[in-house]
Amino acid sequence: MTRNKTTLLSAKNLVIGYKKKAVNLIIAKDLQLELQAGELVCLMGKNGIGKSTLLRTLIGVQPPLSGEIWLKETLLQHISRQLIAQKISVVLTEKPEASNLSVYELVALSRHPYTNWLGKLQEEDKKEIDLALQQTNLSELWDKKVDELSDGQVQRVMICRALAQNTELIILDEPTAHLDIHHKIETFHLLKKLARELNKCILISTHEIQLGLQIADVIWLMNEQGIISGSPEELIENDHIGRLFDNTLIHFDKKNLQFLIGDEQVNRVK
Amino acid sequence: MNPIKTSNFNFLLLAITLLVFLILNLSLGSVSIPPLEILKNIIGIPSDNSTWTYIITQYRLPKAITAVLVGSGLSACGLLMQTLFRNPMAGPYVLGISSGASLGVALLILGSSILGGKYLALGNNQIATVIAGILGAMFILITVMAVSSHIKNTMALLIIGLMFGSFTTAVISILSYFSSAQNLQQYIFWSFGSLGNTGWSALPVLSGIYLLCLLWAIPNIKSLNALLLGENYAKSLGLSIPATRNQILIITGVLTGVITAFAGPIAFVGLAVPHITKMLLQTSNHKVLFPAVLLIGAIVMLICDTIAQIPNSAFVLPINAITSLFGAPVVIWLLMKKRKLS
């Protein structure tokens, strides 16, 4: 399968942050970003560095302080909410309170931007929902209540919901935060598969550095200076990953792609 | 894969239950009238007993229709507010919206008495009462909304509602001190809550506004379902939160206001019925919940009204007392059951 390199989203000179009365609280500036179809992109960085703010800005929930975000050839701010919803879907960290909805009903909510004023599902909507259920391996659970599912299954339902929204771009905020290692790997594999097979762009913010380095096509490394974007190999070679946590507590083991406790610390404990 | 179909049976069951309690409500009272006679009168077959016909058509039928409108209307408001506030404790009475309507009506009835002169007639004016009720309800609703954007805590919201209730009582005490005995009595009877004292005359305005509000609520059902995922998900689905919120606020404010103006402040129905419905039907889907809440709200109100008339006695209890007797335990049960409800 030949993958066409289509740029779905690009950010130019983006400054993100919050407006507090007259003062701009800048989180990150001079960001130049691109998202291509068919790619799995991992956004990594320390806690509180502004990953969530960046994601919120990219999905148009929070206005940028300055700079431009383009969805293909259109400026994000010129696109209506409903149209954005047909181009970007999200999986957020907050848990839905819709505990009494069935899996099918919850996934069906994804068709909100496409259905009429009554929210009636047409054949096309049902087809998309069934397809998404199949792709995420949830077809057998369709009539289970969401609160009967395990955390791993709930997360798969939320990914399925985003998938059924049928958007080119899916953005996930720490999708594996509460999962065990088995389900973490399973989720990453699922996302990689969806990016490859459906030619979608999937952007994940994550703390799973080891997994991300193995599976992502592109890494966005967010630090105080901004975002360094590149393939996992590049970032490891140039020691950008190693400098992510710049203190003596830990160091990065390039061979095993993981952070280890610094030697001094180990000795001190011993 | 069609989960909606499974609930059709439930709706049939609910509709039959509603019919049964409607006939029961019409049949029981200070004099018992056989259900068959009720049916005859409704269909229009002349009855042998003209007294019965008079009681049914002039008193019990408008009262039963009012009960259906009031019960379903308040319950619908409760459902809309619980989803909008993402708070299982939200409801027209508990949040003080009914108190707001009371305040509006009290200001009108008691205030007109204090001002006297040409304002005196205003206190007896039905339309003026309705407008005062709606304005009062909207005032409290907007205040609660503003406060709740700062406070996410369920208990805090509950206490704020309680405080609005106390505030209203205080203002009414002050007003009643200055007003005439006759107006005071008029207000107190109103505040007991009553479904029957309006007769047919109130129904056109009440049912007209009721229908308008429900019709307006229907296009919001889709948004309410999206809101189940939380505000951020709802936004990502293209929903405009402020537009949805404003529409629901206007619908609930107007509907609670008009119902309270006619029937008095009726406690707990709006809070309890959505929970009973969610428990019975085991779903959060508003396409099912909304119509079901209307049916169950009407059933609950008819039951309360039937009890309030005390069959075979001349006494009629205040409807507000009955709904509180049944509703307050539901609230306590909800608070004890710590599980997150939505």
- Amino acid occupying residue A7: T
**What is the arithmetic mean of pLDDT over A199-205?**
96
Average pLDDT rounded to a whole number, residues B153-171: 79
Helices B126-148 and B241-263: crossing angle in degrees, nearest 10, is: 140
pLDDT mean over A216-244? 89
| Cα–Cα dist A38/A170, whole Å | 11
Backbone angles phi, psi at A74, to 5 degrees: -120, 140
User: Which chain B residue is nearest to residue A164, measuring alpha carbons?
Assistant: B237
Distance CA B260, CA B140 (A): 14
- According to the model, what pLDDT value does residue A4 have? 57
Q: Residues with Cβ < 8 Å from B297, sequence gap 6 or more?
A: B71, B72, B73, B74, B75, B76, B269, B273
Q: Please, what is the Cα angle at A57 between A54 and A61, to 5 degrees?
A: 135
User: pLDDT grade, residue B72 (50/70/90)?
Assistant: very high
Q: How many CB pairs under 8 A join A and B?
A: 94
Tell me which of A171-175, A181-185, B245-249 is least confident: B245-249
A129, with CB counted inside 10 A (0-12, 13-18, 19+), is: buried
For strand A218-223 and strand A201-205, is the pairing parallel, antiparallel, or unpaired?
unpaired
The distance of B237 to chain A (nearest Cα, Å) reads 5
**pLDDT tens digit sequence for B226-283:** 999 988 899 999 998 888 988 998 899 899 999 998 898 898 899 999 999 988 888 8
| pLDDT tens column, B278-315 | 888 888 899 999 999 999 999 999 999 999 988 878 88
CB contact under 8 Å between B238 and A101, yes or no, is: no
CB A165 within 8 A of CB A132: no
Gap from A241 CA to chain B (nearest CA, Å): 31
Chain B interface mutation, best of A56, A62, A99, A109, highest count of B Cβ atoms under 10 Å: A109
Lowest model confidence (mean pLDDT) among A94-108, A150-164, A249-263, B13-27? A249-263
The nearest CA of chain A is from the CA of B84 a distance in Å of: 12
Query: What pLDDT is attached to residue A1?
Result: 44
Looking at per-residue pLDDT, the higher value among B9 and B41 belongs to B9
Of the partner residues B221, B285, B340, the one whose CB lies closest to the CB of residue A101:
B285
Q: Give the residue from B299, B305, B294, B295 showing the smallest Cα distance to B255.
A: B294
Sign of CA dihedral B221, B211, B79, B153: positive
Question: For residue B37, what pLDDT is reported?
Answer: 83
CB contact under 8 A, A61 and B228: no
- The pLDDT, as a whole number, for residue B154 is 61
Nearest CA in chain A to B240: A81
Which residues 6+ apart lie within 8 Å of B269 measured at CB?
A: B70, B71, B74, B75, B78, B93, B297, B300, B301, B304, B323, B327
- B309: Cα separation from own chain's centroid: 19
More confident call, A174 vs B5: A174
Q: Are A225 and A31 in contact (CB under 8 A)?
A: no
Tens-digit pLDDT profile for residues A7-34? 999 999 999 998 887 788 899 989 999 9
Mean pLDDT in residue range A122-147: 94
B contacts of A117 (beta carbons < 8 Å)? 219, 222
**pLDDT surpassing 90 at residue B316:** no
> How much is the pTM?
0.88
Torsion angle of alpha carbons A98, A104, A110, A114, nearest 10°? -130
Residue A85: its chain B contacts at CB < 8 A? 236-238
Collect all residues with Cβ–Cβ distance below 8 Å to B62 and sequence separation of at least 6: B196, B198, B199, B200, B202, B203
Provide the pLDDT confidence category of residue B1 given band limits of 50, 70 and 90. Answer: very low
- pLDDT of residue A162 exceeding 90, the answer is yes
Report yes or no: A76 and A84 within 8 Å, Cβ to Cβ: yes
Q: What pLDDT was estimated at residue B51? A: 85
> Where does the pLDDT of residue B117 fall: very low under 50, low under 70, confident under 90, or very high at 90 and above?
low
Helix (H, G, I), strand (E, B) or coil at A234: helix
Query: To the nearest whole number, what is the mean pLDDT of chain B?
Result: 85
Q: Given this model, what pLDDT does residue B342 score?
A: 44
ipTM field = 0.89
Nearest-Cα distance to chain A for B148, in Å, is 18
Residue B148 has pLDDT above 80, yes or no: no
State mean pLDDT over A135-164.
92
- Mean pLDDT, rounded, for A64-78: 92
Q: Assess whether pLDDT exceeds 90 at residue B317.
A: no
Burial of A7 (0-12, 13-18, 19+ CB in 10 A): middle
